[in-house]
Amino acid sequence: MQKLSVLLLFMGLSGSIWAQAEAILEAEMRRRQQEKINPAISVALIYPEGPLAYRNFGGPEITEKSQYEIGSLSKTFTAELALHLLGKKLRQPLSELLPKVDNQYLEEIRPLDLLQHQAGIPRLSPNFSPANWANPYQDYSEKKMWQELRDWEPYEMGQWAYSNWSYMILGQIIEQQTAQSYEQLLQSLFKKAKLKNTHFGPTAEAVAPRNLGVPSANWEFSGPSRYAAGLWSSTEDLATFLNYQIEHNILFQPGWVEDAIPTGLDDLGQGKLYYKGGWFIYRPDKETEILMHTGLTGSYSSIMAYNKTNGKGVVLLSNSLQLADDIALAYIYPKMELEEPQRNLAYDLAEKIEAGDFKNLEKGYWKNKKDDNQEDLLDIYWLERYHYGQKNYAASGPLSNIMYKILPEDWEACVIQAENLAAQGKCKGAKKIYKKAMSLAPERQEMISKKMNACKD
């Protein structure tokens, strides 16, 4: 493939050069779509001048109105509500706003800390253990969240750490302080921002969920999880929302964002990713500042981004766990390198399972694995969790064996292995591995011991 970064360096000098650059991006999207890495892709492009442009891949039914589960892009909506509705209460201790939750540490936390991911609250509760891993947030209730918050003890308060749980708590505070439901508040925001196709669940225009190229299932975000990741939308609507932010959000105005919080994440380069006000701030070089957010669920991935330096914006949605952030950012940042992801052995496993061919799944994996890299491990993890949640133990069992062999000292790989053994009635072996998991993660002893005690010989 021609090097995009070299070609794009000249995009300001020639319209034909920019057309060639877009052609490279479109060819890469077409490749990923045809190889089922991203079975469907929808893109919206915002230019400093001129109308929006759309690119769609995956068949004639895929358009700018097609709906995708947008996961954590929902947090930008929740942040918008918090910043405009809570006022001075953004800096009021949670102990005063949540008097029924008896936890001394809430005296030290404010809603603003939750919004900024600086409350010392982990991504999820240490005791988070879904009843159905194929739909992990469906049964997460307000009652469960409040109980877990009563038992919670902080770590590294004031340090940045991405947290779904923080936004679940923040959403509850917004509802309580405004005496309105999240749905009512968002409907007002949708109207103000002129959004017509953003909803709290899939509609007839929803793109079918896929994982590793085969049919999967969407997640249902009920209870407090909906504040963190519960929305569905289209490129048309999200481009409209991005334009709304460009016009009304001070972070999007010209000039460097002040007091941006270092995230410590090095996915896009050391010291280049910051956070403030519900948005990530990417500074790839000394002249460029990009506001962005991504989303990822069991079968969908998404990104919204705006380059303040050149006035270009992008929304990219796909029905795949494989992120396409590199393509989205390359549209608005000339020097972004494409990652060119390839199909791995997890795709072969998924296709065999879909075909009902469970025989020799594990043996075939090891036979075809050519090196010790773990590039397929996260894909295998979500494939196993989906089939375990669907009670398809003929598939999840071999997948759990693969993960446990690769990561024998990882507490979560141990729990997954034990869960599968228990599901097959092998409680003696399951309990042995549950005990190993507790020794590896003593802070999760309560959750693991419940699983172990539920296993009856």
Q: pLDDT tens for residues 215-230?
A: 999 999 989 999 999 9
Amino acid at 183: E
CA atoms within 13 A on the CB side of 125: 23
21 pLDDT band, cuts 50/70/90, is: confident
Residues contacting 154, CB < 8 A, separation 6+: 105, 108, 109, 119, 120, 121
pLDDT in tens, 163-201: 999 999 999 999 999 999 999 999 999 999 999 999 999
Give the residues across from 261 on adjacent strands.
275
Distance CA 332, CA 309 (A): 10
- Where is average pLDDT lowest: 14-23, 274-283, 308-317, 334-343? 14-23
Contact 379, 344 (CB under 8 A): yes
Q: Which pLDDT belongs to residue 131?
A: 87
Q: Which pLDDT belongs to residue 374?
A: 64
Average pLDDT value for residue range 361-384: 87
* Domains of the chain and CATH, by start: 4-73+230-332 (no CATH), 74-186 (3.40.710.10), 345-454 (1.25.40.10)
Asked if the model's pLDDT at residue 20 lies above 80, the reply is no
pTM: 0.93
6 pLDDT band, cuts 50/70/90, is: very low
Asked if the model's pLDDT at residue 7 lies above 50, the reply is no
Q: Which pLDDT belongs to residue 156?
A: 75
Distance CA 438, CA 435 (A): 5
Name the phi and psi angles at 371, rounded to 5: -150, -175
| DSSP one-letter string for 126-171 | TT---S-TTSTTTT--HHHHHHHHHH---SSTTS----HHHHHHHH
Three-state SS for 259? Answer: coil
Q: Which pLDDT belongs to residue 5?
A: 47
Q: Which pLDDT belongs to residue 413?
A: 97
Average pLDDT value for residue range 259-264: 96
Name the phi and psi angles at 305, rounded to 5: -155, 150
Q: Which pLDDT belongs to residue 15?
A: 53
Measured CA distances, 300 to 211, 267, 287, 306, 338 (Å):
8, 20, 32, 21, 20
Number of CB atoms found within 10 A of residue 86's CB: 21
- Where is average pLDDT lowest: 145-149, 238-242, 243-247? 145-149
Contact 290, 307 (CB under 8 A): yes
pLDDT in tens, 66-101: 999 999 999 999 999 999 999 999 999 999 999 999
Measured CA distances, 324 to 41, 61, 77 (Å):
9, 20, 22
Amino acid at 235: T
Distance CA 180, CA 428 (A): 50
DSSP 8-class letter at 310: T
Q: What is the mean pLDDT of the chain?
A: 93
Distance CA 109, CA 285 (A): 34
Q: Which pLDDT belongs to residue 3?
A: 45
Tokens of 80: 């918008």
Give the residues across from 206 on adjacent strands.
67
13 pLDDT band, cuts 50/70/90, is: very low
Q: Which of 318, 300, 317 is nearest to 239 (CA)?
A: 317
Three-state SS for 16? Answer: helix
Residues contacting 456, CB < 8 A, separation 6+: 427
Distance CA 59, CA 144 (A): 42
Q: Which pLDDT belongs to residue 243?
A: 98
Residues contacting 176, CB < 8 A, separation 6+: 97
Q: Which pLDDT belongs to residue 371?
A: 75
Distance CA 8, CA 183 (A): 42
